[in-house]
Structure 1
Amino acid sequence: MPQEIVSFVILLNVLGVAGIVVWHLQGRSRPNARLIVQILFFAAMTIVLILARIVPFRFDPPHLESMSALFVSAKILWWVHLSWAVVGFLRIYIVLDGRPREARLIQDLLVAVVYLGVALSVMAFVFGVPIGTLLATSGVIAIILGLALQNTLGDVFSGIALTLGRPYVIGDWILLSDGTEGRVVASDWRSTHLLTAAHNIVVLPNSVLAKLGLTNISQPDENHLITLSIRIVPTRMPHVILGIMQTVLDSCNSIIKDPPPAVSLVGIDASAVHVELYFQVTSPLQRGVARSEVIDLVYRHCKSSGLQLAMPLSKVITANEDSAQNLSAAGAAPAQCLIEAIPVFSVLTADEITVLAASAVKRTFSPGEEIAKEGDALSSLMIIKAGIVSMRKDDRETARLAPGDFFGEGGFLAGIGESHALRAITRVTVYEIGKEAFAPLLHERPELAEDLAANLAHREALSGNVGNHAMQHDHRRFYLLQAIRAVFRNHAHG
């Protein structure tokens, strides 16, 4: 009988060591295979224990003094394989349950509980240590450590609460009540890491994060609503102002069109009509770009429609100042004011702008009217005074042009056809300027040709071509510039 027990104990040790070796050979990349190995070796060791009539849940001194070490190691190996099997089941359950990565915190907590329980069981059932006395002593030590690690434990339990509540997941963009905002990039026992819009990492202790109000901008999606307040001098009827502001949003390229942006009249007094613009962007990172574009379009559409932006309520404007502004605005022709506001023509002198504006011819297109087909070479430069023009490529809208934008320079300067079809969305008013007015300017101002070529290359790039976009833009700009110079060089010789 003792010889039979010795054989079983030796077999237990062999199975335990073999299980550890095979478990390590499986690697962490194969959790399912690891779990199968753990179950098989644990089941085999359990069968051997039963055959040897060894009870792992009871402290039994070995029958022979010579086999004490083998007996102890066999029971320890059985407990180790039990803990690994339980931990394997926990990890597989978390994966199959579809838990996010931050559930690693719960997994680590459960694994720690399993290992602690196994360690106490080994001490009690293998070495015969009185666990009751040990727990009483460790309780006093735990109280001392708890007081010393109060803040750390607060962070740990706050992290557990945040993980169980799941107010956010890794990758979500959150906004805190103290103004801090960013994307969650990591979450551990003590802290949560946010990547801000300034590309900095903010480390927040979990106890602090749990006390702050939290807005999850990424749920249910990352579409973010922006509200922009505008004050307009009431020189036009409110419903006209409402329509112009709606046109502003319709001409914006960096905001979401579904759901559609909206405009609301929220107040009126003797000095201003108070308007609020509501629009959404696809990500919090797009807020600055979209807000800047909308503000630029508000200015351009107000200029083209004769609206004036009202002064803030705190600003007092005297009658003389008001009259001076009105006289100044009425002193210049509409075409000249529009040309002066376009950055491309900033290289021209006031006299050159006056001459250019005098040659401009006003044209109007009805809503839905086709202005140019794809590939058409227009015979004049067209500067948009009012309305929205849609740029289309293969029956798909790629961008929209607003007041202050212009097109047609490729056709009348270098004989190049339009890369997009152009269609009026609203009633569109443009100023046409012919080649004859530009010929002397391009000879005197070569930088004007460069700016026109850059604008045309940028508009052609809106078709959504892939690849090295910057290199394509530079090559296209150089080609267009050479073409423009060649045409006007021949024009000068002729």
Structure 2
Amino acid sequence: MFGDDHTIPLVLINVLGLAGIVIWHIQGCERPTGRLTVQILFFAGMSLVLYLGGIAPHQPDDAYAEGLTALLSKSARILWWTHLAWTVIGFIHIYVRLNRKPQEAHLILDMAVAAIYLGVALSVMGFVFGLPIATLVTTSGVVALILGLALQNTLGDVFSGIALTLGKAYAIGDWVQLSDGTAGRVTETNWRSTNLLTGLNNIVVLPNSLLAKQSLTSLSRPDESHLITLGVRFTAGQRPRIVEGAMRSVLEASTRIVKEPPPAVALKGIDAKAIEVELQFRVASLATGTSARNEIIDLIHDRCEASGLSLAEPA
């Protein structure tokens, strides 16, 4: 369509590429769908001009070694590869948003974006500037080996974070408890660490490599409800059946515990001094556990006064 002269298509590609960058920035981060639409339209337009002009972006343009046309040729190819990277990254961002897991997947997303930019950078150096990609990759491998040895601990945290993300051991907002006793709500995960908000309203920063080595209990799965047990001792002179009925009425009177599944009263044991009872009940979330336990203890005190039940001394 354009004949053998590539000047016009090269100018068009540069104009489209620069206009796409300007409009892409005008869209803003708040409109990811609009940004992706702009990226697709301008990338498609640039690709169409390349095709009609008979220009291959993956091949160096030896016909123009110097002058303005050579500059236009290189800039057009750089812009095309850049828009290709942005279009692919835009699709990945939309995919993550549609799955409604932008925070959980940001480690994998960052790796994908880094891989795309690295591939585009190597493509530009090889296809646009004609540099030997094999030599660059070999040199990059040596540099990566040196950096890997120098950053062993940091890389351990990074890959542990990736493994934890892929394994879906937890999600942002989950309550978790570690084997060392640390417990809290997951507020942030990044390349190097995971942040937990404890019940004391403190932030605990755990390196991902340390987190990966511990057994982890999720207190938010399969749901947020949490089982609480409360042991009570009554003097042995009272009938266990009466004690059980009194404690069951305590659980029924509570307004801060979950009624489905129903709470239970377990008679754990009896001896010459005491009847041991365990109250088993669930709360809507771990955050409401303390207030629910306080209410149950207060109700036990009132029920003991009303029924004439006597508490036994500690074992």
**Alignment TM-score, normalising by the size of structure 2:** 0.93
Distance 1:215 1:203 in 2: 17
Q: Residue 293 of structure 1: which of 280, 283, 295 is its match?
A: 295
CA drift of 1:215 comes to 1.7
Distance 2:49 2:65 in 1: 19
Distance 2:35 2:313 in 1: 72
Unaligned runs of 5+ in 2: none
Report what 2:17 is aligned to. Answer: 16
* Distance of aligned partners of 1:171 and 1:261 in 2 relative to their CA distance in 1, 3 Å threshold: same
Report what 1:449 is aligned to. Answer: none
Report what 2:210 is aligned to. Answer: 208
Q: How big is each residue's C-alpha offset from its partner over 1:313-337, in whole Å with a ceiling of 9 and x where there is no partner?
A: 3xxxxxxxxxxxxxxxxxxxxxxxx
Distance 2:313 2:233 in 1: 8
Q: Partner amino acid for 1:244?
A: A
CA drift of 1:210 comes to 1.6
Report what 1:460 is aligned to. Answer: none
Report what 1:92 is aligned to. Answer: 94
Residue 64 of structure 2 contacts residue 73 of structure 2 at CA under 8 Å; is this kept in 1? no
Distance 2:259 2:147 in 1: 58
Residue 193 of structure 1 contacts residue 203 of structure 1 at CA under 8 Å; is this kept in 2? yes
Distance 2:73 2:245 in 1: 89
SS in 2 for 1:302: helix
Q: Residue 164 of structure 2: which of 162, 185, 190 is its match?
A: 162
**Number of residue pairs aligned between Structure 1 and Structure 2:** 313
Report what 1:332 is aligned to. Answer: none
Q: Partner amino acid for 2:183?
A: E
Residue 100 of structure 1 contacts residue 169 of structure 1 at CA under 8 Å; is this kept in 2? no
SS in 1 for 2:228: strand
Report what 1:326 is aligned to. Answer: none
Report what 2:42 is aligned to. Answer: 41
Residue 103 of structure 2 contacts residue 172 of structure 2 at CA under 8 Å; is this kept in 1? yes
Q: Partner amino acid for 2:38?
A: V
SS in 2 for 1:248: helix
Report what 1:439 is aligned to. Answer: none
Once the two structures are overlaid, the 10-residue window that deviates more, 148-157 or 298-307, is 298-307
Q: Partner amino acid for 2:92?
A: L
Task: Work out whether 1:71 is the aligned partner of 2:73.
Answer: yes
SS in 2 for 1:32: helix
**1:308-347 to 2 correspondences below 5 Å:** 308-313=310-315
Report what 1:183 is aligned to. Answer: 185
SS in 1 for 2:176: strand
Q: Partner amino acid for 2:55?
A: I
Q: How big is each residue's C-alpha offset from its partner over 1:140-171, in whole Å with a ceiling of 9 and x where there is no partner?
A: 11111111111111111111112112222211
Residue 62 of structure 1 contacts residue 71 of structure 1 at CA under 8 Å; is this kept in 2? no
CA drift of 1:64 comes to 5.2
Q: Partner amino acid for 2:14?
A: N
Unaligned runs of 5+ in 1: 314-494
Distance 1:187 1:175 in 2: 16
Residue 195 of structure 2 contacts residue 206 of structure 2 at CA under 8 Å; is this kept in 1? yes
Residue 61 of structure 2 contacts residue 73 of structure 2 at CA under 8 Å; is this kept in 1? no
- % identical equivalent positions: 58
Q: Residue 217 of structure 1: which of 201, 216, 219 is its match?
A: 219
Q: RMSD of aligned C-alpha atoms?
A: 1.8
Q: How big is each residue's C-alpha offset from its partner over 1:106-139, in whole Å with a ceiling of 9 and x where there is no partner?
A: 2111111111100000010011111111111211
Report what 2:148 is aligned to. Answer: 146
Report what 1:248 is aligned to. Answer: 250
* Distance of aligned partners of 1:196 and 1:8 in 2 relative to their CA distance in 1, 3 Å threshold: same
Distance 2:288 2:64 in 1: 76
